[in-house]
């Protein structure tokens, strides 16, 4: 259990980092390819943890960062 | 599977916390856009050979390390949000483009102060702040 939570933690950190790649101006497709490449690396370092929750954490963290960013932008542009 | 003592788990978690905090710090102060090689370097740093040597595969120690990494990384982000929310000189827009109130006398920003050039959104150079 602890191992799974730990691997999810690593997946979340890496997902957040990959979102920087997207925010730095790369296209969504290129970012998703990067995410897939990173997921393969994560599998290698998950040290026996199930890859499913790790991948979900990776994608969730990646998406959360972009959602937060877009919410902030929408709020800023709606301001007079 | 070899079980780990509480002090070992705390130690692994603490190490992960420090590394997670520092990963956010390095990312925030980086000077150029993120490349795919940077991502792979990051993965190697937080989960590569050194980590495997310290925390054997399929042990709770690796789990504690990962939880600490998560806590340290996102604690940095939460501290940024907390500091921005209690400061009168910053708003949430700082996360988008780095804007802040211009300091008025007697306050100054000394020359050589590291620029926090990465937050959430891109600026004119296509990079992100914080």
- Ranges of beta strands (E only) in A1-80 are none
Chain A window 41-70: which residues touch B at a Cβ cutoff of 8 Å?
Answer: 41-42, 45-49, 65, 68-69
What is the predicted pLDDT for the residue at B117?
A: 54
For the question of whether the overall pTM of this predicted structure is more than 0.80, the answer is yes
Report residue A43 as tokens.
Answer: 């599998």
| Mean pLDDT, residues A35-62 | 76
Q: Which of A41, A49, A47, A38 is nearest to A15 (CA)?
A: A38
Query: Are A21 and B40 inside 8 Å of each other by CB?
Result: no
Residues of chain A contacting residue B59, judged by C-beta atoms under 8 Å apart = 3, 47
Which ipTM value was assigned to this complex?
0.83
- Would you place residue A73 in the very low, low, confident or very high pLDDT band (cuts 50, 70, 90)? confident
Residue A68 pLDDT > 90: no
What is the predicted pLDDT for the residue at B75?
A: 95
| Mean pLDDT, residues A29-51 | 72
Residues of chain A contacting residue B63, judged by C-beta atoms under 8 Å apart = 1-7, 49
Let me know the angle formed at the C-alpha of B37 by B35 and B39, rounded to the nearest 5 degrees.
80
CA dist B94 and B74 (Å) reads: 18
CA dist A41 and B43 (Å) reads: 7
Residue B12 vs residue A20, higher pLDDT: B12
What is the predicted pLDDT for the residue at B127?
A: 43
What is the predicted pLDDT for the residue at A46?
A: 65
Q: List per-residue pLDDT tens for chain B, 130 residues long.
A: 567 788 989 998 999 999 999 988 888 887 777 777 777 777 777 776 677 778 877 788 888 888 999 999 999 999 999 999 999 888 888 888 778 888 888 888 888 777 765 556 554 444 444 4
What is the predicted pLDDT for the residue at A45?
A: 65
A10 in contact with B at a CB cutoff of 8 Å? yes
Strand partners, B122: B128
The CA distance from B112 to the nearest CA of chain A, in Å, is 25
CB pairs under 8 A between A and B: 127
């Amino acid at each position: 259990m602890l191992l799974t939570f730990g691997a999810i933690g690593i997946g979340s950190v890496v997902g957040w980092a990959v979102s920087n790649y997207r925010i730095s101006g790369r296209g969504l497709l290129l970012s998703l390819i990067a995410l897939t490449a990173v997921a393969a690396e994560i599998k290698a370092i998950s040290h026996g943890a199930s890859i499913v929750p790790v991948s979900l954490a990776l994608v969730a963290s990646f998406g959360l960062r972009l959602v937060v960013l877009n919410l902030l932008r929408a709020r800023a542009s709606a301001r007079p | 599977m070899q079980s780990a003592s509480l002090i070992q788990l705390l130690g692994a978690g603490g190490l992960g916390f420090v590394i997670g905090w520092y990963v956010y710090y390095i990312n925030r102060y980086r000077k150029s856009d993120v490349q795919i090689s940077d991502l792979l370097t990051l993965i190697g740093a937080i989960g590569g050979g050194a980590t495997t040597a310290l925390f054997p595969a399929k042990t709770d120690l690796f789990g504690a390390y990962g939880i600490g990494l998560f806590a340290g990384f996102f604690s940095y982000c939460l501290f940024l949000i907390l500091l921005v929310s209690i400061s009168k000189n910053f708003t949430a827009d700082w996360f988008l483009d780095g804007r802040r109130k211009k300091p008025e006398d007697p306050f100054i920003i000394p020359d050589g102060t590291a620029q926090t050039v990465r937050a959430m959104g891109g600026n004119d150079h296509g990079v992100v702040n914080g």
